Amino acid sequence: MKIDERSRNTAKILIDIGAINFSLLTPFRLSSGFLSPSYIDCRKIIAYPSAFKSITDMMIDTIKSDMGFPSPDYIIGGETAGIPFGAVIAEKMGLPLSYVRKKAKEYGKNKLIEGDIFKEKNSLLVEDLMTDGKSKINFVENIRSIGIQCNLSLVVFKYNIFKEADISMKRNNIKVYHLTDWEEVYNQMRLMNTFESSILLEIRKFLDDPVAWSNYKNGITKL
């Protein structure tokens, strides 16, 4: 399956299962801190078996088709949303699986990595989505701190609208692959002709300049 076909199919799935949520009057606050007129809930995917299978199959196709040599031979899910996707990918590809915590446990062995540690393998960090990339950097730093090689990440959805995100990824030597992004979802929303024009207009404003949109809305909410 080609990249653009995977992107379209994933966007349609996210819309169909109600993973794209809207709130124009009281914007959502993303993990990055920015306000947004929409919240992408990729965690919903696991509740729909057919959608979950399609998404994980496309993630595996991305690994096999788009990632060059050396291909990943060790899957690490990001706590917590990345774990179910990583688990299915690892099982279907016959690869070892671990998961990485946001921070070490404060009891027991104080572990950052759960499962086992394979320092000789080329690991792939699997997560549900990427906004500004800060959580990716934190996870990769935690993985690398144990001595595990990790320069690759795969997500279902990448916002792909924050200019500094790709710069940060490159600076930290992290290549992020994704199935779909906001532009594809927006295009599919327009083609479906079932969304109110007010929603499409506000989404377009947000996509064109998410930082300015967030700053403006943040000023309003504080009045």
pLDDT tens per residue across span 22-68: 999 899 999 889 999 999 999 999 999 999 999 999 999 999 999 98
C-alpha angle with apex 135: 53 to 118, nearest 5 degrees? 70
CB 37 within 8 A of CB 202: yes
- pLDDT of 19: 98
CB 136 within 8 A of CB 176: yes
Residue whose C-alpha is closest to residue 180's, from 40, 29, 32 = 40
Residue whose C-alpha is closest to residue 56's, from 6, 113, 22, 12 = 6
- pLDDT of 193: 86
**Tokens found for residue 151:** 């320069």
Spans of all domains in the chain: 3-216
- pLDDT of 221: 52
Q: What is the pTM of this model?
A: 0.94
- pLDDT of 1: 86
Question: Can you tell me the distance from the alpha carbon of 133 to that of 153, in angstroms, rounded to the nearest whole number?
Answer: 11
Question: Can you tell me the distance from the alpha carbon of 21 to that of 37, in angstroms, rounded to the nearest whole number?
Answer: 8
In the chain, which stretches have pLDDT less than 70?
A: 108, 219-223
> What is the bridge-based pairing of β-strands 35-36 and 38-40?
unpaired
In CATH terms, 3-216 corresponds, of 3.40.50.2020, 3.20.20.370, 3.40.50.970, 1.10.3080.10, to: 3.40.50.2020
Contacts of 90 (CB under 8 A, 6+ apart): 75, 96, 97
